[in-house]
Amino acid sequence: MQRVRAIAERVIGNVETVIVGKHEEVELAFIALLCQGHVLIEDVPGVGKTVLAKAFARSIGCSFRRLQFTPDLLPSDVTGVSIYNQKSGEFEFRPGPIVAQVVLADEINRATPKTQSALLECMEERQITVDGVTYDLPRPFIVLATQNPIEYEGTFPLPEAQLDRFLLRINLGYPRKRDEMIMLERQQIQHPIEQLSTVISAEELIELQQIIRQSVYVDELIRDYIVSIVEETRTHSDVYLGASPRGSLALFRASQARAALYGRDYVLPDDVKSLVIPTLGHRLIVNPGARIKHTETTTIIQEILESVPVPGTRALHPRR
């Protein structure tokens, strides 16, 4: 696990030459990459959502494509089209920008729900189907999506099925004064992302993903803790729709990646607790009564964390 930690520090340090003062958010994004998950970066315009996504794409040495979502974007503009070749007399597939290892879906909620839904098969099954023919996407395949808050004009709320396919949701927020001054100094002559180098290759990233899945131990008590938290989201009085089993798996995988990030080959309850809001917050639908009272999903999750008992420790090989 020390190798995973060393590589993580290199990648995170590389990204932080561009994104100043957002260590926790950068760390969360890399956790998602380590467990083959997609990331939704949500915040107001101008706080660095697109730059964060581009910085990670440059740092991990993968093929990169950018999709600028607009209201007139069509599903075929995402997946690609089949074009008739008069010379050969056959249809040829022209892949869309989704056929890449790292895809930046910029301002994803400015496209219509029909176009947003074109990503459903891509994100879950790592494949696309065009005119009845299925094409596999390259490995690794990661979608880094940015979106503006839905209260802004010209935005469409993401469908619940679409939100559920994002492993984590990250909010950047405004920088502190000192961090913003550092940002002004670094960008005085040119943007530091122009000089950002590749830290690891796509093959190394795939290897790290396999190591984490196979080598990070998750005790039965921790698994029970994860499922208990998710079950509470389904029965909470303020929640209309709780987290799905995909949410349980997301919390499980992300906890494994966080443990490896800190050089451990076992998951602690603190790993789970620190990741509950990023992994489950966007999967909950608050009921109308709670929405009127401006109840946030983060508040509900905090209540759940306080009510679910934290597991203790036990010996793996008890004495007889």
Per-residue pLDDT of 74-130, as tens digits, reads: 888 888 888 888 888 888 888 888 998 888 888 888 888 888 888 888 888 888 888
Residue tagged 């990030």 (tokens): 261
Of the pLDDT bands very low, low, confident and very high (cuts 50, 70, 90), residue 168 is very high
Predicted local distance difference test score (pLDDT) of residue 319: 40
Nearest by Cα to 112 from 75, 164, 81: 75
Compute the mean pLDDT over every residue in the chain, rounded to the nearest whole number.
86
More confident residue, 237 or 255: 255
State which of 117-131, 138-152, 303-317 shows the largest mean pLDDT: 117-131
Confidence of residue 251 (pLDDT cuts 50, 70, 90): very high
Q: How confident is the model at residue 313 (pLDDT cuts 50, 70, 90)?
A: low
Query: How many residues would you count in the chain?
Result: 320
- Pick the range with the lowest mean pLDDT from 17-21, 64-68, 291-295: 291-295
Structural domains in the chain, CATH included, are: 1-201 (3.40.50.300), 216-312 (1.10.8.80)
Give the pLDDT score at 153: 60
CB burial string 290-320: b at 16+ within 10 A, e below: beeeebebeebbeebeeebeebeeeeeeeee
The two three-digit tokens of residue 265, written as one number? 């080959």
Q: What is the pLDDT of residues 1-46, one digit of tens each?
A: 788 888 888 899 888 888 888 889 899 999 999 988 899 988 877 7
> Is the pLDDT reported for residue 278 higher than 90?
yes
Structure tokens at 189: 């002559």
Instruction: With beta carbons less than 8 A apart as the criterion, state whether 170 and 278 touch.
Output: yes
Strand 142-147 vs strand 102-106: parallel, antiparallel, or unpaired?
Answer: parallel
Q: 226 to each of 27, 34, 49, 137, 147, how far by Cα in Å? A: 21, 19, 29, 31, 28
Which token pair is 117?
């839904």
Q: Tell me what the mean pLDDT of segment 244-262 comes to.
A: 93
Q: Give the pair of three-digit tokens for residue 116.
A: 């947003």
Q: What pLDDT does residue 154 have?
A: 63
Residue 201's region, left for phi above 0, alpha for psi from -120 to 50, else beta, is beta
Q: Which range among 40-49, 119-128, 129-138, 214-223 shows the weakest confidence by mean pLDDT?
A: 40-49
Distances (CA, A) of 105 to 145, 146, 209, 293: 4, 6, 23, 33
Q: Considering only CA atoms, which of 143, 32, 39 is closest in space to residue 98?
A: 143
CA distances from 181 to 21, 175, 185, 209 (A): 11, 9, 6, 36
Given a cut of 80, whether residue 152 has pLDDT beyond it is: no
DSSP string of 77-128, one letter each residue: HHHEEEEEETTTTEEEEEE-TTSSSEEEEETGGGS-HHHHGGGHHHHHHSEE
Confidence band for 151, pLDDT divided at 50, 70 and 90: low
Nearest to 143 by CA among 126, 128, 160, 131: 126
Cα 38 to Cα 222: distance, rounded to the nearest angstrom? 24
The overall pTM is greater than 0.95: no
Q: Check residue 316 and give its pLDDT.
A: 54
Residue 147, pLDDT score: 85
Which band of pLDDT confidence, cut at 50, 70 and 90, is reported for residue 318? very low
pLDDT of residue 280 exceeding 80, the answer is yes
